[in-house]
Amino acid sequence: MSVQIDPKTLTALVIDDNAVACDLTVAMLRAEGVQVDCARSGPEAVQMIQTRLREGLSAFQVIFLDWKMQGMDGWETARQIRDMQRTSALAASLLIMVTANSREMLSQRTEQEQGMIDGFLAKPVSASMLLDAVVRSRSSGAKESQVGSSQRRLEGMRILVVEDNLVNQQVADELLSSEGALVSLAANGQLGVESVAAADPQFDVVLMDIQMPVLDGYGATQVIRHELGLTRLPVIAMSANVMASDRAACLAIGMTDHVGKPFELAPLVTLLRRYAGWPEAG
């Protein structure tokens, strides 16, 4: 996904009690041109925001906060930040939770708590993932204010992403989940085949990387088609190779279609809905 913002216009705060993680995140963002500060705890972050308020400075546009911190965790920090913003002239910041916890852990938080957060990222993160999260949070906020979160375009779609690169896994999971998809991950073609064989109900669509260890995308697709007998399951190739010959090779092996990496979300959503047999999004 291409970043649709100018990083040089962003002001950000990173809150993380791990000094190495905090410094690394700050360095990545500064390398992209973001104006960024660091707080090593929830109380320090709250104090920094209060200082900006007293001095008449603008709010941080985006705050990346760690989930688990000593003393005041990310959720309590978020609550205090939101309380400050509600009772002052300080503009609301985007709050993006960055954590080693899985997305499923969010279900253990109340709806009110989840409502405080604009985005969620699983560690490890890259600069592009952080900036893309800002783009998605802004887009989601605008969309939900107009049509409501119930109209996410992939709501309930079961998607298997077969991809060996951890960063690519996380990006695909975050983007597709933001549209309501139920995403499962497999780190190579063999694990992908096993996931398809065990699925009940079956996946609506499989996104299949081509070059992977153990079993590549071509081999995995052949097993799905010929050994599992799933000739109608949509298997869409994902590859950085986007020449016509690459697409032809994917179709010849039995894949349904081919998309290039990195992918753009909107065209991919349209493709997924079509091959899953869903109507066009309104």
Please tell me which of 11-15, 84-88, 178-182 the model is most confident about, judged by mean pLDDT.
11-15
**Mean pLDDT of the residues in the chain:** 85
- pLDDT for 149 equals 40
109-122: per-residue pLDDT in tens?
777 777 888 888 87
H or E segment and range at residue 27:
helix 19-31
Domains and CATH numbers, the chain: 7-149 (3.40.50.2300), 152-275 (3.40.50.2300)
Average pLDDT over residues 12-32: 92
Which percentage of the chain shows pLDDT scores above 90? Answer: 47
- Quick one: pLDDT band at residue 35, thresholds 50, 70, 90? very high
Average pLDDT over residues 245-265: 90
Which percentage of the chain shows pLDDT scores above 70? Answer: 89
What backbone torsions phi and psi does residue 209 show, to the nearest 5 degrees?
A: -65, 155
Asked whether 59 and 91 are in contact (CB, 8 A), the reply is yes
Asked whether 167 and 145 are in contact (CB, 8 A), the reply is no
CB hemisphere CA count around 226 (13 angstroms): 8
